[in-house]
Structure 1
Amino acid sequence: MSALLEADGLRLRFGAAPALDGVSVAIWPGEVVAVVGESGSGKSTLLRALSGQITADAGTVHYAGQDVLALSEAGRRRLMRTEWGYVHQNARDGLRLGVSAGGNVGERLMAAGERRYDSIREVAAHWMERVELDPSRMDEPPRNFSGGMQQRLQIARCLVTEPRLVFMDEPTGGLDVSVQARLLDLIRKLAKEMGLAVFLVTHDIAAARLLAHRILVMRRGQVVEEGLADRVLDDPRHPYTQLLVSSVLAA
């Protein structure tokens, strides 16, 4: 089995500072990979480079044999509408607040080619129920929902086309602890049921332990440690990883 997405030698500078300094990463089908590190470590920049939102100064990104960096803008948009999904930290960045909850889910289906109104509503209702939202509220706008509910709606919108790879940028950031736990359980369940590959950026070590098969630790634009989640968190080898883990244990 080949890697679903593979990047090699990614380099990117913002001014004098290296945001990515020779980063290589592979994501396998059905694998959840978490990237952890302090603010400014380069983890969000890596997420944006892999998902085609920014272009690295050097390096390659391949998805299912395709050279992502060589795709046209239309080709990248097509990937993002169908085989890729993106979950923003702030759900409002991933939703259209002026469109109903069901419409938000249905829009992605329409972008993928579905045109039958009844089918779109039926699938939207199914997905609202699947992310633990009441389908009877599908005609309400997202602004009527709580932050945790908006995040679950964004996940429904993202997964309705059954993508193969989902990028997640701090999906539990800013939510209450109890809401975070419920959302993490939902993400873990859906990823397992659908066989999703997930690339997750998080500052939350507990979330990384719960969700990830493998963890990358970034510092100053470089991956300083990589391995199976339990190994990295229970037996960290790089001094920076040891510092990250010990700071969580001391909190």
Structure 2
Amino acid sequence: MSELPLLSARDLGKLYGPRIGCEAVSFDIHEGEVLAVVGESGSGKSTLLKLLSTELAPTSGNIRYRMRDGVTRDLFALTEAERRFLLRTDWGFVRQDAREGLRMSVSAGGNVGERLMAVGERHYGRIRGTALDWLGRVEIDTDRIDDLPRDFSGGMRQRLQIARNLVTHPRLVFMDEPTSGLDVSVQARLLDLVRGLVAEMGLAVIIVTHDLAVARLLSHRIMVMRHGHVIEQGLTDQVLDDPREAYTQLLVSSVLAA
């Protein structure tokens, strides 16, 4: 594993007119590392995720990514074709609403198979076999392979979205509130599944969440955002057990009081 960061953000900022989306955000993430970005609604964490995944262009700063050939590139200097290829292969994006991350009119197996076809797989039998394997890995009954996602529960849709994203063995996965809106028992199973797959595959993950319990369970490091700025960052247990900033203390105490 390289000692160089997989992704580096430097002085990253996004303005919406006079309003700050985020400002002066800098960090590195390495392979096998999970970084949680936490904060209240409006703190800038979703803007940051959209910048990192190139869905938004920054107003200031830059993001550099180490490609599979070892060359580190400025993400916003990539061609549109290069950027789209990254999104289809090297990266995954697990969205809060699975309907945005799945093709709802395509079967469960087809959703997984589409990603394989994006990396050049054309053999129907191998595609279906790999899709079956991945449905099993994310605890979806394999006899549901030809069912449409609209017939799945919320938890099953999220697990299918995870299978669709991980089937190409990406190196970096973005997650936007992946457990939001799910029952507590479903959340627990999903988090357990994600933690196991992340460890097994050595993924780098950037997860945005307002839930500090999710951050504690999944992440190695944590960044706390408020009003578009990173106000505290460090090892997850360190920050959550001994928060330095008053705002972080408030976040942690509100979870304990809940």
TM-score by length of 1: 0.99
CA distance in 2, matches of 1:11, 1:165: 21
Query: C-alpha displacement at 1:15, in angstroms?
Result: 2.0
CA distance in 1, matches of 2:63, 2:247: 27
CA distance in 1, matches of 2:97, 2:74: 29
Q: Deviations over 1:76-108 (max 9, x none)?
A: 110011110000001111011110000000001
Partner of 2:253 in structure 1? 246
- 1:113 equivalent to 2:120? Answer yes
Match of 2:106 among 86, 89, 99: 99
Structure 2: stretches of 5+ with no match in the other structure: 67-71
Match of 1:155 among 158, 162, 165: 162
CA distance in 1, matches of 2:254, 2:123: 53
Query: C-alpha displacement at 1:160, in angstroms?
Result: 0.3
Partner of 1:57 in structure 2? 59
Structure 1: stretches of 5+ with no match in the other structure: none
One-letter amino acid of the structure 2 residue matched with residue 68 of structure 1: L
One-letter amino acid of the structure 2 residue matched with residue 163 of structure 1: P
One-letter amino acid of the structure 1 residue matched with residue 24 of structure 2: G
- 1:207 equivalent to 2:207? Answer no
Q: Secondary structure at the match of 2:215?
A: helix
- 1:129 equivalent to 2:131? Answer no
CA distance in 1, matches of 2:4, 2:224: 23
Structure 1 consecutive aligned stretches of length 4 or more whose deviation exceeds 3 Å: none
Higher mean alpha-carbon deviation, 191-200 vs 21-30, is at: 21-30
Identity %: 65
Partner of 1:32 in structure 2? 34
Number of aligned residue pairs? 251
Q: Secondary structure at the match of 1:162?
A: coil
One-letter amino acid of the structure 2 residue matched with residue 221 of structure 1: G
CA distance in 2, matches of 1:66, 1:156: 28
Query: C-alpha displacement at 1:45, in angstroms?
Result: 0.4
Partner of 2:193 in structure 1? 186
Partner of 1:81 in structure 2? 88
Query: C-alpha displacement at 1:12, in angstroms?
Result: 1.0
CA distance in 2, matches of 1:97, 1:217: 34
CA distance in 1, matches of 2:19, 2:144: 47
Q: Secondary structure at the match of 2:5?
A: coil
CA distance in 1, matches of 2:192, 2:124: 32
Partner of 2:203 in structure 1? 196
One-letter amino acid of the structure 1 residue matched with residue 46 of structure 2: S
Match of 2:22 among 20, 26, 29: 20
RMSD between aligned residues: 0.6
Partner of 2:180 in structure 1? 173
Match of 1:11 among 4, 10, 13: 13
Partner of 1:226 in structure 2? 233
Query: C-alpha displacement at 1:72, in angstroms?
Result: 1.2
